[in-house]
Structure 1
Amino acid sequence: SAGKKKYETEYVRGNASFGMSVFNLGNAIMGSGILGLSFAMANTGIALFILLLVSVAIFSLYSVHLLLKTANEGGARVYEELGQKAFGMPGKLAASCAITMQNIGAMSSYLYIIKYELPIVIEAFTGAKDEWYTNGDYLVLLVSLCIILPLSLLRNLGYLGYTSGLSLLCMVFFLIVIIKKFQIPCPLPFLDAVNETALMANSTPSTINSTEDVCTPKYVVINSQTVYALPILIFAFVCHPTILPMYEELKDRSRKKMQNVANVSFTAMFIMYLLAALFGYLTFNINVEAELLHTYSKIYKDDVLLLIVRLAVLAAVTLTVPVVLFPIRTSIIHLLGSHKDFSWVRHFIITLVLLGGTNALVIFVPTIKDMFGFFGASAASMLVFILPSAFYIKLVKKESMKSVQKIGALLFLVSGILVMFGSMTLIIYDWVANRGHV
Structure 2
Amino acid sequence: MDISSAVGMELQDSKMNGGALPADAVGPSQEHEDFLPSDDPVPERKPVQFMDFEGNTSFGMSVFNLSNAIMGSGILGLAYAMSHTGVIFFLALLLCIALLSSYSIHLLLTCAGVVAGTEGIRACREGSGGHRHLSAQCWGDWYLKGNFLIIIVSVIIILPLALMKHLGYLGYTSGLSLTCMLFFLVSVIYKKFQIGCAVGRNETAVTSEDSPDVPRQGFNISCEAHMFTVDSQMSYTVPIMAFAFVCHPEVLPIYTELCRPTQRRMQAVANVSIGAMFFMYALTATFGYLTFYSSVEAELLHMYSQRDLLILCVRLAVLVAVTLTVPVVLFPIRRALQQLLFPSKAFSWLRHVAIALILLVLVNVLVICVPTIRDIFGVIGSTSAPSLIFILPSIFYLRIVPSDTEPLFSWPKIQALCFGILGVLFMAISLGFMFTNWATGHNHMSGH
TM above 0.5 = yes
The structure whose residues are more often helix, as a share, is 1
User: After superposition, where does 1:37-76 map in structure 2 within 5 Å?
Assistant: 37-75=78-116
Deviations 1:218-254 (A, max 9, x none): 1222222211111111111112222233333444443
Structure 2: distance between partners of 1:276 and 1:242: 24
Deviations 1:312-351 (A, max 9, x none): 2222322333443343233223322277256777666644
- 2:410 matched to which residue of 1? 403
Structure 1: distance between partners of 2:443 and 2:275: 41
- 1:29 matched to which residue of 2? 70
Is 1:5 the counterpart of 2:50? The answer is yes
Query: 2:229 corresponds to which letter in structure 1?
Result: V
Question: TM-score, structure 1 length as denominator?
Answer: 0.76
Query: 1:313 corresponds to which letter in structure 2?
Result: V
User: Is contact 1:41-1:229 (8 Å) kept?
Assistant: yes
Structure 1: distance between partners of 2:161 and 2:258: 28
Structure 2: distance between partners of 1:74 and 1:315: 37
User: After superposition, where does 1:212-231 map in structure 2 within 5 Å?
Assistant: 212-213=221-222, 215-231=223-239
Deviations 1:149-196 (A, max 9, x none): 56656777795563222111111111111111112233485623999x
1:211 Cα deviation (Å)? Answer: 5.2
User: Is contact 2:69-2:329 (8 Å) kept?
Assistant: no
Is 1:276 the counterpart of 2:288? The answer is no
Is 1:108 the counterpart of 2:134? The answer is yes
Unpaired stretches in structure 2, ≥5 consecutive residues: 1-47, 208-218
Classify the secondary structure of the residue corresponding to 1:357: helix
Query: 1:37 corresponds to which letter in structure 2?
Result: L
User: Is contact 2:88-2:227 (8 Å) kept?
Assistant: yes
User: Is contact 2:167-2:253 (8 Å) kept?
Assistant: no
Structure 2: distance between partners of 1:194 and 1:66: 50
Is 1:16 the counterpart of 2:58? The answer is yes
- 2:308 matched to which residue of 1? 302
Of 291, 294, 300 in structure 1, the residue corresponding to residue 299 of structure 2 is 291
User: Is contact 1:79-1:241 (8 Å) kept?
Assistant: no
Of 139, 160, 178 in structure 1, the residue corresponding to residue 188 of structure 2 is 178
User: Is contact 2:437-2:443 (8 Å) kept?
Assistant: no
1:412 Cα deviation (Å)? Answer: 0.3
Classify the secondary structure of the residue corresponding to 2:229: coil
**Aligned positions, number:** 383
Query: 1:403 corresponds to which letter in structure 2?
Result: S
- 2:337 matched to which residue of 1? 332
Classify the secondary structure of the residue corresponding to 1:212: coil
Unpaired stretches in structure 1, ≥5 consecutive residues: 83-94, 121-132, 196-209
Query: 1:224 corresponds to which letter in structure 2?
Result: S
**Greater Cα shift, 242-251 or 306-315:** 242-251
User: Is contact 2:306-2:312 (8 Å) kept?
Assistant: no
Of 425, 440, 443 in structure 2, the residue corresponding to residue 418 of structure 1 is 425
- 1:321 matched to which residue of 2? 326
Percent identity between matched residues is: 48
Deviations 1:33-83 (A, max 9, x none): 21111111111111221121011011111112212222222326549869x
Question: TM-score, structure 2 length as denominator?
Answer: 0.74
* CA 1:428–1:143: 2 relative to 1, 3 Å: farther
Structure 2: distance between partners of 1:343 and 1:23: 28
1:16 Cα deviation (Å)? Answer: 2.2
* CA 1:36–1:389: 2 relative to 1, 3 Å: same
Query: 1:375 corresponds to which letter in structure 2?
Result: I
Of 210, 225, 248 in structure 2, the residue corresponding to residue 240 of structure 1 is 248
Structure 2: distance between partners of 1:347 and 1:402: 44
- 2:436 matched to which residue of 1? 429
Classify the secondary structure of the residue corresponding to 1:263: helix
1:371 Cα deviation (Å)? Answer: 0.7
**Greater Cα shift, 272-281 or 356-365:** 356-365
User: Is contact 2:52-2:122 (8 Å) kept?
Assistant: no
Query: 1:119 corresponds to which letter in structure 2?
Result: D
* RMSD over aligned Cα atoms: 3.5
